Amino acid sequence: MSALDHLTTEQATGPSTGSWTLGIEEPSIVLEFALAEAEALRAWLLKPAADGATSLDDPLVSRVLLRLGLEVDGARSAVNVRRELVQAGISVDHLSDEQIRELGSRIAAMKPGPVEKKPAVVATEE
């Protein structure tokens, strides 16, 4: 058996028969994308195939798509909150995206209270 045949056979058996089902931790990989690249990948994965099937029909792809969606949405919300705070004149350069998202959530959770009307001050001349 050639190395290519061996690799092809392993790939064909799929992840359910991988070595990690024998008590060995499943290997993982980390990829880093620009936000625009991640959004494009997400949009592409959500497009239906020619036969009408979507990637959501595959449980493994669906889980990956869910994780990708959470990361894209989180990054996009951090960008939006950061932009709004900078436009309001608040310096946020020292805050991480995680801190920005937390701050944005806290601000969004605040309920505006009743506006207290102060009596007009009338100046009197003596």
If one counts the domains in the chain, the total is 1
Q: Tell me whether residue 22 is in a domain.
A: no
Vertex 54: Cα angle to 52 and 56 (nearest 5): 155
- Contact 38/75 with Cβ under 8 angstroms? yes
Residue 64: inside a domain: yes
Domain that holds residue 54: 29-108
Using a cut of 0.75, tell me whether the model's pTM lies above it: no
Residue 104 contacts residue 77 (beta carbons within 8 Å): yes
d(CA 43, CA 114): 42
- Model confidence over 23-68: pLDDT tens digits? 788 888 899 999 999 999 999 888 888 888 888 888 888 888 999 9
